Structure 1
Amino acid sequence: MNTLRFRLDEAFAPDKLACDWVLLDQHNAALAEGRSSPKEWPTADAWIGIVASARARVLRLALPELPPQKFAAALAYAVETRIAGEPQQQQLVAGRRDADGKRPIVVIERAWLETALGALATTGVPLSRLVAEGELPERPLDAWWWQRAAEGGFVLLSEDALPLDDASAALDPPAALVLALERSGAARPTRLLIAGTEPAPEQQLAWARALGLAIEYRPGGDWREIPAARLDAACDLRRLPAESERQEQAEEPLRLWRQAAVLFALAAGVHLGATALDFARLSWRAKQLENEARQLVPGGLAQSAGIPASAAAFRRLYAAARHAAGLPAAQDALPLLARAAPALAPLGEDALRQAHFASGRWTLDLPPLDGPRRQALGTALSRAGLNAIYAEQNGSLRILIEEQTP
């Protein structure tokens, strides 16, 4: 799909139809360009007119949300003090709202616009869109944009536009630009972006010192090279204010949904990233604790008891921490015996013949017990969280009691 872009400069009129044009392919690459009247232009699938900044002034204003039928009057009132002529003699078109809540307002003389549209229609130009040159550059809110040229140059200020033709090699910045900065007040930018005619390096340095701004050159800012998406986003100058406001209000829900989708995707990404980092941190800490525990408990001792080395090590680490705090651990002699005492009590005061504690285990010598009493003792010890191992030895019943392990 080929697109023909043409620029309507300040001199364009029914008797002066010649203007600059460029034919672009679907990748925005130039196929042909020149300057001639519309009847001599090549054929194309889309025809986009670009009105020079000298004819279409771009303001940036904060406008309230109003019904379309009231928007035209509010728009005329907002620009009344900023334009020389009567608002009724101007075509006012509002663009899409920027990130700071302000909207670009294109001001173009209605009589000239009607004459230009009539001349294009007479020559058979199937106009697809008509946009303002000053609305095409994509600039940050903290910067001014200077489309530098010997003719047709302009500067996009924070809320207005300034015609400025300059392509000289002078080291002093243009006086009009210096004056605009002095009057900018709180709206003073931090950067000046220059497109079009590139200044020499020594000019950039001299201007940066004189203006107190960072100077950056941006290639590709000419109307011939602007991405197609920027032209699609610019407001069509053929629309009336109420029509442009209806389009803005119709697109507002979709814009909000897009913003919500972007925020959701960002939040999900942050959540997944934080979860992965937290998992990695916990895994590293668990490995660190396991290594510390293995240093406290010999692996062979834990394995000989049928306990995974890491579990036995953590129990020993916990016991060491309680001992360091002056507290007994669950597998110490007295806590272990206290847990076994309720199970041993039914055997009587004289039942215990001998007792010995070592390595977290009690070894008790008791009188021989019949099957039911031995089973009752084992059940009571198990409920207390203890293991019991029985052995008959020299007419006595020897019981090995230790804490149950998971």
Structure 2
Amino acid sequence: MTKQLILRIDPAWPATPSARWALLDERGQMLGEGESEARHWPAAESCCVVLAGAQCLWLEATLPRAARRDEPRLLAYALEDRLLEDPEREHLTVSHRRRHAENGGECLGVVAVDRDRLRQVLAQLAAIGRVPTLLCPEFPAKSDAEHWQIVIDGAQAILVAGPGNAAALDVAALLVALEQQVAAARLNGALPKSIELRLAVGATAPQQLDEACPGIDLQRGATYVWWQIAAQSAAVNLLHDEIASKTRANYLKRFKWPLWLAGGAFALWLLGGTGEVLWQRQTLSSLDSRMERTYLSTFPGNTAVAPATQMQQRLSLERGRHGLLKNDDLLALLACVVDVLGDEAAGSFGEVRYADGLLELSLKGALAGRAATFPARFAGSGLLTEVRNENGGVRLRVRLGDQP
């Protein structure tokens, strides 16, 4: 079963080594959750990380129509006055896009994270073998200007006042921040229709929350579950560009020694196979040289082209000179007989003998009754034939016409 570990990393980690975690199965069902140090985190095939608290800032910027390659430069310029740090020190991730109705440009939602903090988190996770495949902020994946959202989980609160306007803060500061957002929205004529309040298990809302948003419908939403942010398909993944490259590099470092061992084993196998091929080639070359020397010493004055084949041919000739069966004599005579007799030869031969160039066949069936016609039939084939009646049977003797 494939398991997924989701970690909630707050701003104090790893100085405070404990972190909340949730373990899910391949269907996204909860297997367990808790809060512990890294050595007590459960084993899992994949890891996702939720950056909690004020580590992420969600903003919205309007860009003029331009080529996509110019987007990073334009974003840095548009957000320069709204970021606490130099834009060059921030890792920017686009969360959503929408067309601007007035100037024809684009409104981009942007999640900003300090690069040094991001590198610190990823390096620490890589060191303990928990390289994440997803790194996302603890903000809702979707929001709109008419429906705000407040999330309270323990002493932590998240205020989402429309797309690209989210902040994580302490519950004690929530009322002041909400009053400021409502006042700004009323001044711009953009008050929301409702505010959804989501509480985690055991969390409570401030008593004066209704007074901070007069005239706005405050609705109680579903129970807040922090790990569901990472489980959503629309979660904003901060792993891209150079951050993603470093994450992949750290992931590969986990398999450094296994990869080295596998590569070494493959190299040894390749060297062994190459050595075996070279040895076999050397053995074959040695055999060819030995056979050539044997042929030239046995048949001096001849040229060795294919010594093995040439020696077989010479052996066949020598066998014929000494009255022995050559490699192809018997087959040649049988082929000539079958060629003359045609279909009548099928199943008509009994005993077959061959000696000194003479082929002797025992005939049976209808072919034996027509044996008297054989001398005339074989006359034009270059074969000499003789029919004999022996022991109540008919025998056909065949030899080449030039044989004595």
TM-score calculated relative to the size of structure 2: 0.51
Match of 1:187 among 166, 175, 190: 190
Structure with higher Rg: it is: 2
1:145 is matched with: 149
1:236 is matched with: 237
Per-residue CA distance 1:337-386 (angstroms, 9 max, x = gap): xxxxxxxxxxxxxxxxxxxxxxxxxxxxxxxxxxxxxxxxxxxxxxxxxx
What amino acid is the match of 1:33? E
2:77 is matched with: 77
| Structure 1 position 132, deviation (Å) | 0.9
Name the SS for the 2:72 alignment partner: helix
**1:164-179 correspondence runs (5 A):** 164-166=169-171, 174-179=175-180
1:221 is matched with: 224
Name the SS for the 1:164 alignment partner: strand
1:360 is matched with: none
| Structure 1 position 18, deviation (Å) | 2.1
Name the SS for the 1:155 alignment partner: strand
- Structure 1 outlier segments of 4+, above 6 Å: 198-202
C-alpha contact 1:68 1:242 (8 A) present in aligned 2: no
| Structure 1 position 82, deviation (Å) | 1.2
Gaps of 5+ in 1: 244-406
C-alpha contact 2:157 2:170 (8 A) present in aligned 1: yes
**1:2-401 correspondence runs (5 A):** 2-13=3-14, 15-64=15-64, 66-97=66-97, 102-134=107-139, 136-158=140-162, 159-166=164-171, 174-184=175-185, 185-197=188-200, 207=210, 210-226=213-229, 228=231, 230=232, 232-240=233-241
Name the SS for the 2:116 alignment partner: helix
CA separation of 1:112 and 1:160: change in aligned 2, threshold 3 A: same
Percent of aligned positions with the same letter in both sequences? 24
Alignment length, in residue pairs?
A: 235
C-alpha contact 2:95 2:236 (8 A) present in aligned 1: yes
Calculate the aligned-residue CA RMSD, in Å.
3.2
Gaps of 5+ in 2: 101-105, 245-404
CA separation of 1:242 and 1:49: change in aligned 2, threshold 3 A: closer
Question: Which has the higher relative contact order, 1 or 2, with Cα contacts under 8 A spaced 6 or more apart?
Answer: 1
What amino acid is the match of 1:234? A
CA separation of 1:23 and 1:167: change in aligned 2, threshold 3 A: farther
What amino acid is the match of 1:114? R
What amino acid is the match of 1:126? V
C-alpha separation in 1, matches of 2:98 and 2:47: 27
CA separation of 1:167 and 1:34: change in aligned 2, threshold 3 A: farther
| Structure 1 position 143, deviation (Å) | 1.3
| Structure 1 position 174, deviation (Å) | 1.4
Between Structure 1 and Structure 2, which shows a larger proportion of strand residues?
2
CA separation of 1:87 and 1:210: change in aligned 2, threshold 3 A: closer
CA separation of 1:108 and 1:200: change in aligned 2, threshold 3 A: closer
